[in-house]
Each structure stands twice: as C-alpha cells, then as structure tokens.
Amino acid sequence: MTNPTFTNLLSSALPTESIQGLASHFGASPTTIANGIQSSIAAVVSGLAQRSGDQGFLSQLLNSASATPANAVGSALSSGSLTNPTSSFFTGGSQLLSTIFGGRLGSIAEALGTQTGLRGAGATALLVLGVQTVMGFVGGKVRDGSLNVSNFPGFLARESDALKGFLPAGFQQQPAPVAAHVNPVVARPVLEEKKSSVLPWLLGLLVLALLLGFWWYHSRQPEVATQPVTAPAVTTPATITSSNGVNLGGLVDVTLPNGTVIHIPELGVESKLLAFIKDPALSPDKTTWFDFDRLLFDTGSATLQPQSQDQLNNIAAILKAYPAVHLTIGGYTDNTGDAAQNLKLSQDRADSVVQQLESVGIGADRLVAKGYGEEHPVGDNSTADGRAANRRISMLVTAK
C-alpha cells in the first residue's frame, strides 16, 4: 500500500511521546490515537477536496494557512492546548472544521468516535489536531511556492484519492468538483510531484520517534520542475460587498513587507488600515477607528459566523507584517433592548474577535478588547439602517 504526502506529515510532525501523551489522556492505546489522527487528516483532506471548485474558499484557506505558525501543532501538544476546549488552538480548529464541513461535522465526529472508541471531546480533539496539522502542512507549501490557488485543486484531488483507505468507516465521501481552467504548464510540476511524494509505508511508528521535532519538509522533499513556473494571476471580476451590502470594490493582491500576499477588497477596511499604518504623517490617536465590514455574528451572540474568517485572517496577516502595530478592538450595539445586556454583548463580541486573532498567532499583548454597548452611535437608532450601522466591531491603532 502506498503512503500519501499527508500521512508522511503525520510521521514527521507528531513524536511518539506526543502520541503516548494523548493516549494516556483519553484512555486509549497509542495505536488507536495514531490511527485516529490519520483518519482525521484523511477526512479533512477529503472535505477540502469536495470544496475544490470554490476558488474563493480555496484562496481564503491558503491565505489562512500561510499565516499559521510553523510550530503551531508542536506548541499545542507541548502546552496541552489540544486537550483544552477553551484554548485558541482548539477553538480555532473547531471553527475551521465547521467552515469545511458545515452541518456534516457532527456525523464525521461520530464516525471517528465509532472507529476509535473516543466520544465527544476526544473525537473532536483528533479532528482539531488533523485540521491544524493539515493547515501547517499547506502553509509550508504555500510559503515555499509549491502550492497556489491554481494547482491546489489538483493537489487535493490526488491526496484525497490516496487517503481513501484511511477515512473513518461511515464517512460519506463525495466526488470532488473538477477544477476548471487548469493551466497545463502549472499542472506539470504537480504531476511530477506525485511521483516523488508517495512513499512506501514501511517505517510505521518507528519513524515517529526518529523524526522527532522535524516537520515534513525536513524529510524527503518532492521533486520540482527545474524550469521556474509562474502561476497565472487570479482575477475576480465580481465586486465584493460588505455585511451591510456596501460595495467594497473588486479583490486586489497586496504584498506585505514580509512577503505575504493577501487578497483584499480595494475599498475594504483592510485597505484603509494599511493606508493608515504606512502613512508616516498619520499617528495613532483616540478617534481614528476602522470598522470591520465583513464580520457576521449569530443573532444576539458572540459567535462569529464562518464567512468572517477571511477578513480576520487578512487583519492577522497585516499585524504579522507590521509587528509594532497594536490595536484596540471595540464592540458596539444599537439601543434595542437592555443597556446592560448590550454592553455585555459588545464586550463578548470584541473578546471573540481578539481571541480569533490570537488563535492565528497574534500576541495577546498587542490586542485590547473593549465593549462600548450603545455608546458612540454612528447611525440613527430610529431607523433599521442606522441600527445596523451601530452594530459593529471597530479597530483603533494604538501604536505603529
């Protein structure tokens, strides 16, 4: 049986003592845990492949992966974050799983639980570890130029097919959409990569110990074409709208000082924030707030909806590129309902945004969350549009 790239990643990313520690925590055997992680990785890759026809989703995912710290999984295992459902590592992974699988997530966790004998938090923890491991792997390949939005669908299709044997019993695998407009020049190195990225499954758990502390890219690297290939530019003719229906213009590619490329609406808050940060004539003050324009929360809740992730990832990428920048995140509501409850909701929502930014690597010392409730309205609370404008999350640059 051949062994696909993502399972090679498991071998190099998770040392034996980490497998044993998880086994001890959940009361299972190391073999059960190792097999469960393999199955969770297979499920995540299959889920991504099933969404490979959604170029916008793939672009957001690659952007998020490129911002994922290379040592995120190792740090989580050593700190115990994986077994703490309130940690940013766990909550961030859970949110990403919801984005990938939607309403299917419950049945997938149940299938994994049936396979491993782990239920509830145990099965979810393995899925979180699987998705965060995949994100670290993909992020590395984005940073070294091996993956981009053009060749990612073909890569996912190949890996998903190779991982079928590792899927948990009962997992409903759907055919991945065929990617359109594949540039044959770009496709060639992906096909060549297939020849070298599939290694024999010979080393088993022994490899886990031998490759302690090393990520996948410290082991055998796939062959790449000697002739440099430039991926075609991705164009998005459609305009982007805010959560309130405001036209934010088309997507533009912006290269940050650290080399990260983000795809942002030309009239969106990311562009406004970048302009403020880069202008030496503008200094932090107490009045220049920037309103998030693509964040959505569940009604009456501090739970961010999955489509908010793209803008949060963009802001995180900007903060990583400008490490001197500090932000206050302000939460606001309209004047409907009880003022004290509105104040609490605004604080909870600001906290939720800060926690999400921290989960993708932004230091807690750079972020402050503040709820203002009904204070500082920007719209007329007597109208529906005005109330919608007042329900917002904003950013204040406090240092740059």
Cβ contacts of 164 within 8 Å, gap of 6 or more:
42, 46, 173
Percent of the chain with pLDDT over 70: 76
Cβ contacts of 389 within 8 Å, gap of 6 or more:
244, 378, 379
Name the one residue in this structure whose structure tokens are 């920037």: 290
Token pair recorded at residue 141:
């390949």
Q: What is the pLDDT of residues 343-390, one digit of tens each?
A: 999 999 999 999 999 999 999 999 999 999 999 999 999 999 899 999
Q: For residue 170, what pLDDT is reported?
A: 65
Q: For residue 77, what pLDDT is reported?
A: 72
Q: For residue 215, what pLDDT is reported?
A: 45
Closest CA to 176 of 193, 152, 196, 146: 152
Distance, CA of 350 to CA of 346 (rounded, Å): 6
Distance, CA of 201 to CA of 162 (rounded, Å): 12
Q: What is the pLDDT of residues 206-221, one digit of tens each?
A: 444 444 444 444 444 4
What secondary structure letter does DSSP report for 19?
H
Q: What is the pLDDT of residues 157-168, one digit of tens each?
A: 888 888 888 887
Q: Is the pLDDT of residue 136 over 90?
A: no
Distance, CA of 20 to CA of 30 (rounded, Å): 5
Question: pTM of this prediction?
Answer: 0.45
Token pair recorded at residue 38:
């393999």
pLDDT band at 309 (very low <50, low <70, confident <90, very high): very high
Q: For residue 238, what pLDDT is reported?
A: 55
Q: What is the pLDDT of residues 9-32, one digit of tens each?
A: 544 556 667 777 777 777 778 888
Q: What is the pLDDT of residues 171-215, one digit of tens each?
A: 655 543 433 333 333 333 333 333 334 344 444 444 444 444 444
**388-399 exposure pattern, b = at least 16 Cβ within 10 A, e = fewer:** ebbbbbbbbbee
Q: For residue 20, what pLDDT is reported?
A: 75
Distance, CA of 391 to CA of 333 (rounded, Å): 4
* Domain annotation for the chain: domains and CATH numbers: 2-218 (no CATH), 251-399 (3.30.1330.60)
Q: What is the pLDDT of residues 27-82, one digit of tens each?
A: 778 888 888 888 888 888 888 988 888 878 888 888 888 887 767 777 777 777 77
What number is the average pLDDT over the span 239-262? 89
Q: For residue 159, what pLDDT is reported?
A: 83
